[in-house]
């Protein structure tokens, strides 16, 4: 596959996300480590205080988030960190979907054609 075509597709999908996401933000939530010292951090795609999707970071960093949202996840991790309780952390993960693909997030079905080739 032509690498220029792949880059164009990635840029196109990023533009689609930016056009559609004015009210949607990626947030980075951090709770205290568990009793074994494992991190309890997550990324959440939030629209008007409603969590559309959440991904447990574990030891993956921004790789836990579908590719189309990774840039926003990195920006949230660097610039927009929120401290939450362990109870809130567990509640967000329990009640929110963690889709593997960007087009599986509610309201982002239109990304299906882009995600099939560029979401990795």
- How many angstroms separate the CA atoms of 13 and 118, rounded? 9
For position 11, what pLDDT does the model report? 55
Look up residue 67 and give its two tokens: 């590719």
What's the distance, CA 32 to chain centroid?
A: 20
* Residues 65-76 as b or e (16 or more Cβ within 10 Å = b): bbbbbbbbbbeb
For position 86, what pLDDT does the model report? 96
Closest CA to 86 of 45, 49, 31: 31
For position 110, what pLDDT does the model report? 64
Element holding 116 (H helix, E strand): helix 112-118
CB atoms within 10 A of CB 28: 21
Q: Locate the domains of the chain by residue range.
A: 3-118
Do residues 103 and 43 touch, judged by C-beta distance below 8 A? no
* 25-44: pLDDT as tens digits: 999 999 999 999 999 999 99
The residues of the chain scoring below 50 in pLDDT are 1-10, 16, 21, 115-120
Look up residue 89 and give its two tokens: 């952390």
For position 55, what pLDDT does the model report? 94
């Amino acid at each position: 596959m032509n690498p220029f075509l792949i880059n164009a597709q990635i840029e196109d999908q990023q533009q689609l996300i930016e056009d559609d996401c004015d009210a949607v933000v990626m947030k980075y939530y951090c709770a205290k480590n568990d009793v074994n010292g494992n991190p309890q951090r997550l990324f959440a795609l939030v629209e008007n205080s409603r969590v559309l999707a959440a991904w447990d970071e574990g030891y993956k960093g921004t790789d836990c988030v579908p590719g189309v949202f990774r840039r926003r996840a990195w920006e949230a991790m660097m610039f927009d960190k929120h401290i939450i309780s362990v109870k809130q952390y567990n509640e967000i993960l329990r009640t929110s979907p963690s889709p593997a693909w960007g087009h599986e997030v509610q309201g982002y079905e239109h990304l299906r054609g882009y995600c099939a080739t560029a979401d990795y």
